[in-house]
Amino acid sequence: MAEIAALRSLLFVPGGRADMIAKVGRSGPDGVVLDLEDAVAAGDKDTARRTVVEALAELEVPASTLVLVRVNVPGSPWFADDVAAVAGTRADGVVLPKLERGGQLAELQALFAHHDRPDAVVVAGLETAIGVADSRELLTAGAAMGVVAAYFGAEDYVADLGGRRTAEGIEVLYARSRVVLAARLAGVIALDQVVVAVHDDDAFLADAERARALGFPGKLCLHPRQVALAHRVFTPSGEEVTHARAVLAAAADGAGLLDGEMIDDVHVRMARAVLARAGQPGPP
């Protein structure tokens, strides 16, 4: 199983497209998701499931890449068969969409135990009004049931509320903030919403910068071109690493000054977080 150290990018690919699945590792995402839910029409679910199982047997990605399958929602006609199929593959686990009740996680855990895959990991989708509202309770309980990350699904959330998506995104600011806070308190990775304009790099970068400012360490990607953009935003730059090391040096003997500004414990913690994200831990 891949080590889950960071998920700057989680790239989704339709489960029914064997040609796209075969190329999913070329853009170097931290994680890939073969999607059996939104990306597959109801009449094609069984065929897509077989395609995913066959493609996973041949999939070539680095050992560090997290490999997941997004199954259909619990209670759907396809859920149990999806989980059973995934359990017999090299996939690290599943993406569970539209999480709303702890019982959904318990059902998933029981199915994986039945198929002798107690090690399977779960990325939970918080993309409905109740899922977002109850996100802290759901993720706190989920952390003990294999949930390693959670994502905010803006499109489904706004549709559930009857709202309207805008370029500014003010309609999802509260929900994004609630999900990233809930994930932090539960000790799981938070992943930000998709940008559906897959050829608009500026839109993706701007949205990713807002996500990073909110505290998200990574983002969902719908197109391979978005992977490099996500890594650009969520990997600390050389300048940020240099500044973080300067902060630690200035604070080595207690509160200090750097560029005329006071440096105290909060700045030290932020500097260490930057270095950790860059894979360059600083001194204790």
pLDDT digits (tens, 9 = 90+) for 117-148: 999 999 999 999 999 999 999 999 999 999 99
pLDDT digits (tens, 9 = 90+) for 26-84: 999 999 999 999 999 999 999 999 999 999 999 999 999 999 999 999 999 999 999 99
CA distance 232 to 247: 23
- 76, 40 contact by CB (below 8 A): no
pLDDT reported for residue 61? 93
Residue 234, both tokens: 């969520």
Bridge partners, residue 147, by sequence: 122
The SS3 call for residue 235 is coil
Is residue 94's pLDDT more than 90? Answer: yes
